[in-house]
Amino acid sequence: MTRLHLQLDRIEEIGYALHSSTNRLSSIVDQVSSLHRQIDYKVSARNQIGIRTHRSEQTLEDLVNRIEALRSFIHESVYQYGMTERRIQGEAQLIRDIVALPPISLHERVQRLMDQFENDPLRNDPLVQRLIEEANHHDEFVSIPALEQLREIFEARNNIARAQTAWFIYMQFNNTEAAERAHAYAMELRKLLREHGIDEQYFAEDLSLSGFYSGEPLDAVSYDPSIPIQTPMPKDNQYRYLLGLIIAGGSQAAWAKQQLAHIHARLKEIGRAQRAWTEYKERGMNQEADNAHLYAEKIRDELKNEFGLSEGMVDGVNYEHLWTEEGPAGKYLNDENTMNQYDTSGTQHPNPNEKYKHITEQVQSITDINEGKFGDEMDHFIDIFKEHQDLYERISDKTGVPAELIAALHYRENPGKFDIYLHNGQKLGQETTIHPAGIYFDNFEEAAVDALLSKSYVRDTYQLHADSNDLVAMLAYAEAYNGWGYYNRDEVSPYVYSGTDIYTSGKYTSDGVYDPTKVDGQPGVYILLAALEEEFATIPAEPESSGTIPTDGIEFEANVQSAGNILGANPNYADAVTIPEIENFPLYKQGDSRYGGELIGLDSSDTMANIGCTTTALAAVNAWETSGEWINSQEPHPGRYNDTVEYTANGEIHWPFSRPGEVDFAYNDSQFESNVQDAIDRGNPVLFAVNNDAHWMVAVGYMPDGDVIVYNPADGMVGTFDEMNEHRESINRYTYTSISRYREF
């Protein structure tokens, strides 16, 4: 900072000198102009009296021309000096802005800083006292560094105060991740003060400094504390008002939480619509993309008209990051379009070429897979895919080729080896010597991306993308990747079909050399993809009976398990306290094929599988409450229960009509476990929402240590809250980090 001040002083000196030079030059110009006028007058007088000699005339004219040239030069110099003076003045002002020093004396600067912290205990620190003395020193080489060090010290301490205020606010909303970031920032500032030499008693970690933060509390936070996903702090006054009510507590805090829950649900829907728009556009579904945009606009209008949010809060803001659900966001992208369920119809390509039609015929003629020969290798392939799925999906994102197809191609080239070129199976770290020869990579991921992008024209020909489920297109890509030599000979490609009943023998043993008797010993791409399809479509078997499973419970349709069956089969829950007749509590899944596609509420873009967690949870509670006394002896599973529920326009439960008299919710997260225990002891389950009402579940019991036992309609699981989150993490799904609201039934 001292160097900047010296440069500023030097620039101002130069500017002053130039200004003085400009004034002197202007004076010279005035004198020359006066001389020019005198000469003009004398020339005129000479003409009048008839004195005209050739020599004097030439001399005078030459003098006039020289003076004119000199005047032009001086004018130009004055202009240039003026421009330089203005530029230097601008640079001086810029440096003043950078160092933030007002145009006052150094003594006044020190005094203002000290007045600002007049009663601050930090002034008692020995180093600060010494710096104050140095800042008042008459020598600027001493005073300026001291002043800047003082400024840095007090700013660091005040930013610790701001970080502590932010930490408190984040914790009010159970936003532990953001709170930890604020704490980490405060620790960095403490380190800075420690390096300056400030006594730790003035900034110790257990010392509350938040009183030194003078701004508005919400100005202390950089991110919205009420949303666990990192989102910049909104500037909207109405939104900040709701946050303020929650921070303040009191009678209106519960109402504000409810308002925010509704707002967050709508912001998430905007994010879903934005994600769906992208998905539709990628697939050329322009009409559906337009509909997604209109749906988002409708929600924006609701937020402005019903909740009073500003245009700056909702219009043109990207909330796509709030949509954290798995699978496609677009309603018209079938849930079947996943790697678990391939489309073998050969109808996805609108303009199929002859090779695409040929592959379709090949696929539809397959009736058997040789698991006896290739079963172990298929299992090995599944293990490799599971272990490296993240890698395959990263490559998929960069190339537009489905992850499972990439894994199958990799296995064909060199099973389980990640030190090879996907191009041809040669070792990484050296130039390739066979086609494509002369390339060099030492990283599998980079090499794989290069190999697949080199075939981008094939990908585009068959309209593949990362989420494709068109098996015909995948196999066509695989055959093109290996080469169309078998197709040209009218032979079945072992690269694609080895291990199926349509391949018996025939193999290229080297480039251009075909042996009709040679049998390929590797599994083909088709059966590798089939192995993944079967693996991920398999439902894990329920635990075997330990002899404690209740046998007198109600039998539910479609082999639906009860919470009692599952908990009773696990000795870890032997001491659990549960609701009565838990063997009659069904573990419905909201994505059950019987009703997963049913629409929710008035909005045609939502289904039970996508947003029906609350309806599914209520259906389970209802089935348990009625204990088999079902109308017309029909089990009230979520599909049937859905007929009795009323919804808002956004597909949310209309509580007064769906559960009369049961619309009051508790919002105290810290008392959740104790309230659940009290409810269970009274024989009542507890319906609760997590992550700002993003998902709903039911508490059906608790463990001796207080852990809540939870039924999750997302996947029909039952277990402790912690076990639920561990399972979610293991399958790379979002976890349940906070309780939004709950009530006892």
Name the strand (E) or helix (H) holding 41: helix 2-49
DSSP string, 541-558: PPPPP-S-S-SSSPPPGG
Contact status, residue 474 vs residue 402, Cβ threshold 8 Å: yes
Provide long-range contacts, Cβ within 8 A and 24+ apart, for 106-112.
106/135, 106/140, 106/143, 106/144, 106/147, 107/136, 109/147, 110/135, 110/136, 110/143, 110/147
Question: Which amino acid belongs to residue 743?
Answer: R
Q: Would you give the distance in Å from CA 720 to the centre of its chain?
A: 28
Question: What pLDDT, on a 0 to 100 scale, did the predictor assign at position 35?
Answer: 54
Question: What pLDDT, on a 0 to 100 scale, did the predictor assign at position 65?
Answer: 62
Using CA atoms in the order 191, 195, 196, 201, what is the torsion angle rounded to 10 degrees?
60
Higher pLDDT, 729 or 96: 729
Contact status, residue 402 vs residue 467, Cβ threshold 8 Å: yes
Contact status, residue 366 vs residue 430, Cβ threshold 8 Å: no
- Residues 532 and 381: their CA atoms lie apart, in Å, by 8
- The stretch 457-481 carries a mean pLDDT of 87
- Residues 473 and 456: their CA atoms lie apart, in Å, by 13
Q: Which residues contact 540 (CB under 8 A, 6 or more apart)?
A: none
- Residues 36 and 42: their CA atoms lie apart, in Å, by 10
- Residues 523 and 526: their CA atoms lie apart, in Å, by 8
- The stretch 409-437 carries a mean pLDDT of 82
For residue 69, what are its two tokens? 């040239």
For residue 468, what are its two tokens? 């494709």
- Residues 242 and 332: their CA atoms lie apart, in Å, by 36
Pairing mode, strands 507-510 and 513-515: antiparallel
Task: Compute CA distances 133 → 109, 110, 144, 193, 199, whole Å.
Answer: 13, 10, 12, 19, 18
Q: How confident is the model at residue 260 (pLDDT cuts 50, 70, 90)?
A: confident
**pLDDT at residue 174 tops 70:** yes
pLDDT one-digit tens code per residue, 217-256: 888 888 889 888 888 888 888 888 888 888 888 778 888 8
- Residues 491 and 502: their CA atoms lie apart, in Å, by 10
Question: What pLDDT, on a 0 to 100 scale, did the predictor assign at position 479?
Answer: 92
Looking at 111-125, 413-427, 605-619, 704-718, which range is the least confident one?
A: 111-125
Task: Compute CA distances 253 → 245, 249, 666, 744, whole Å.
Answer: 5, 5, 11, 20
DSSP string, 474-499: HHHHHHHHH-THHHHTT---HHHHTT
Contact status, residue 223 vs residue 178, Cβ threshold 8 Å: yes
**pLDDT at residue 531 tops 50:** yes
Q: Which residues contact 706 (CB under 8 A, 6 or more apart)?
A: 673, 674, 677
**pLDDT at residue 647 tops 80:** no
Question: Which amino acid belongs to residue 233?
Answer: M
Question: What pLDDT, on a 0 to 100 scale, did the predictor assign at position 118?
Answer: 63
- The stretch 5-29 carries a mean pLDDT of 52
Name the strand (E) or helix (H) holding 711: strand 708-712
With vertex at residue 328, the alpha carbon angle to CA 349 and CA 278, rounded to the nearest 5 degrees, is: 75
Question: What pLDDT, on a 0 to 100 scale, did the predictor assign at position 34?
Answer: 57
Task: Compute CA distances 609 → 76, 500, 557, 594, whole Å.
Answer: 80, 35, 18, 11
- The stretch 300-305 carries a mean pLDDT of 86
**pLDDT at residue 86 tops 60:** no
Give the number of C-alpha atoms closer than 13 A to the C-alpha of residue 395, restricted to the C-beta side.
Answer: 25
Is 83 in a helix, a strand, or coil? helix
Contact status, residue 475 vs residue 412, Cβ threshold 8 Å: no
Mean pLDDT for the chain overall: 77
- Residues 411 and 390: their CA atoms lie apart, in Å, by 16
Q: What is the end-to-end Cα distance of the chain in Å, rounded?
A: 67
For residue 611, what are its two tokens? 């947003």
Provide long-range contacts, Cβ within 8 A and 24+ apart, for 78-84.
78/22, 78/25, 78/26, 78/29, 81/18, 81/21, 81/22, 81/25, 82/22, 84/18
- Residues 710 and 34: their CA atoms lie apart, in Å, by 101
- Residues 421 and 666: their CA atoms lie apart, in Å, by 58
pLDDT one-digit tens code per residue, 366-416: 888 888 888 888 888 888 888 888 888 888 888 888 999 999 999 988 777
pLDDT one-digit tens code per residue, 287-301: 778 878 888 888 888
- Winning range, highest mean pLDDT, from 53-57, 79-83, 269-273: 269-273
**pLDDT at residue 600 tops 80:** no
- Residues 242 and 256: their CA atoms lie apart, in Å, by 5
- Residues 169 and 175: their CA atoms lie apart, in Å, by 9
Picking from 481, 316, 513, the residue whose alpha carbon sits closest to that of residue 408 is: 481
Looking at 219-223, 271-275, 364-368, 736-740, which range is the least confident one?
A: 736-740
Question: Which amino acid belongs to residue 331?
Answer: K
